[in-house]
Structure 1
Amino acid sequence: MVVHDRAITNALSYVLTLGITTLLITGLTVGAANMLENQQRDATREELETIGNRLASEVTRVDTLAQQGGAATVSVSQPSRVTGDRYSISLLHGASVCSGGRLAASVDTCLRLTSIDSEITIRVPIRNESKVSLAVADEGTFQLRANATNTTGGSEVASQDLSSRIGVGEDVSRDTLSLVGGVGNRPPVASFDFEPASPWSRQPVTFNASDSFDPDGSVTEYRWDWDGDGAVDQVTTDPTATHTFSNGGGYNVTLTVEDDESANTPRSQFIDVSGLEYNRDMTAVGSDDATITFTVTNNAGREVEITHVLVDPADGSIDSIDGGNEIDIDADDQDGELDDSFALYDSGRIVELDDSATLSDGSTATIEIGDFEDSTAVNMNGKRVRIGLKYNIGGRTNSTRFEDVV
């Protein structure tokens, strides 16, 4: 009997070829992944070094200014992320934390930059003759300060960790440096926020300027210009103030803070005040009190058209709205309605009206929403509900949002 080895040899060669090919593909895949990871780490390190060197040059700058007259402050903005990662910045003193790696053992003042996600850390040496500190000035900005009254040569540096919130852009090469102060008195830094963030007309809005400060003294006065016309409408010595806008529209609110040496700094923010005003009259109606009703008044100065409604009960067990007219808007000009029942999610539900509602300036509309249900109708008395009304006005979209207890 003759044994033919050719078929066995061919099969064996095929199996070996598959195995070798698999090993090659696996090796290439792993190698490519490692190469991409190494490239990303190299890019992260390069961006951190770019930011660190720029900051180091600014430390030298503020140190030189201080040597000329005793005190100086430079305001610096930096990117918020490097290659998509968050990072922190610390200004450190001491050879134990600064030396090592690329830095000589004699280096005792440095910037330390660390990528939070990839855990890459770089250190950049700094030479200074003044006492230097690092402080947050405002969102997206921090301040380098130097005081030449303590010229001990490389004197201790205040250490403060700066998270990625201290960034205003993604472009590492972007130059957003600005000189805040120089020799002599340094002007104050103005900052404020307001609540609610989306107010409606005749709703009290609280403005808080507590984050304003003076780098070399104290803030003595807060001047508020509510409509951006350049005229001061209210002056306070307290950082908080309350204002009510009579009509809807856009307002450029300007705060000017003054320090104890009469230096002042302005800061403006745009606030969009909705002209569709909730009248604080939410109640439960119907045979089982499962429907809520309330009114809104148009103080926008022109006609508005309500197109969408947000419904969000705080009680998470309420999962749907059903009934005759699920949403009914009784307006003087044109009524609006939604006849279909709909489910409610944990964050509420925005629904588009089948028929929008048009309100002329100064008119009031009555809105009914219901019935609220879990497995059966829910008595809404005592329930907290968040409502939003989206409307068109003069070719643009605006909204009114409010929350109340039925």
Structure 2
Amino acid sequence: MLPWGFLFSRAFSRDPHTAYAELRRQGPVHRIDFPPGAEAFLVVDHEHGRAALNDPRLSKDTAHSTLPVPSEPYFGGTMLGVDPPDHTRLRGLVVKAFTARRTEALRPRVQEIADGLLDALAPRGEADLIADFAVPLPIQVICELLGVPAEDRDAFRAWTTVLTAPVLDRAAAERRRETARAFDHYLRGVFDARRAEPRDDLLTALLRARDGDAALTEAELRNTIGLLIVAGHDTTVNLIGNGVLALLRSPGQYGLLRDDPSLLPGAVEELLRYDGPLERASQRIALEDMEIAGTPVPRGSWVHVSLAAADRDPAAFSDPDILDITRPTARHVAFGHGLHFCLGAPLARLEGQVAFGALLERFPSLALAVPSEELRWHRSGSIVRGLKSLPVRF
């Protein structure tokens, strides 16, 4: 059995792909002690991982586990942690507000925000691309999307920084609980203001979203907004950070994309496949005794699907460890698959296209400011994969 520390080690955070390649050679499914004490399994190939992501026998509700865990703020009770029919209702209501048209309409403003951030960096000649660009870009975008007033955005960013940070000890857990309470109080006030004075923003659209007599409850509305912020924030930050690093480590691909911006949509998909923002999918719980790739999975077991491993599976992608921005990558699972496919994927893709395009145009000779081996990755054991910082010069 793999120990729970497998997912928390420095070596794994630096290079999970080598570890997963070795596991794949041994077989597609492995027992793992995570969460500690639970009967749990890790799926590391594309075929069975992709199937598990859309298997109705695998529930998102940890109440079905033989080792239930407390819900995280903003995840319990959202579509991320429930099954149909509740999931169907919640997702349907949010989709009515979070439309493709609303997302695409943001493109000029996302470009403006990205350009403004780079304008501020240009005179310096060097920067931490995570803190100075990858983090503030999605925060400003989500504030614009929701209609958060400009005067509240510093507080909003401070709250979301805590809510998206890993919880590694009791002090961090208590800090997150206090922040969640403050954020809830703020959101209640904003909801009251929007009901009194509706605007053309996502928050007003969510308040108005209905399907017959069904609408989001107050708690569901707060949790949905929290989920959009937390999930969308980490996804975009890590897409930008991981993607820029991958390009800098592949100078030929960097030059190809810099010289031909028409390749941006496909390049974003390949960067998602190559080293995506999520290392694993969120948990699944077996509702019945079942098998995955011939491995017995008892009822109540946790099933973890490694998205990173699935997207480097040589059975699904030729030369998977090579970055190729011209590769057809329609089958990657960086945003999941099936019923729980990431609702914010179109926004993350848009932000990625704008961010990479703006960076390569503004700083065509972008380079790492430290040796690659000095870079540090978050070692939280959570599902996200991202750099702590990315020092660059230009």
The TM tier, using the shorter chain, reads under 0.3
TM-score, normalisation: structure 2: 0.19
Q: Which has the higher strand share?
A: 1
Structure (1/2) with the larger helix percentage: 2
Quick one: higher RCO (CA 8 Å, sep 6+), 1 or 2?
2
Kindly name which structure, 1 or 2, has the bigger radius of gyration based on alpha carbons.
1
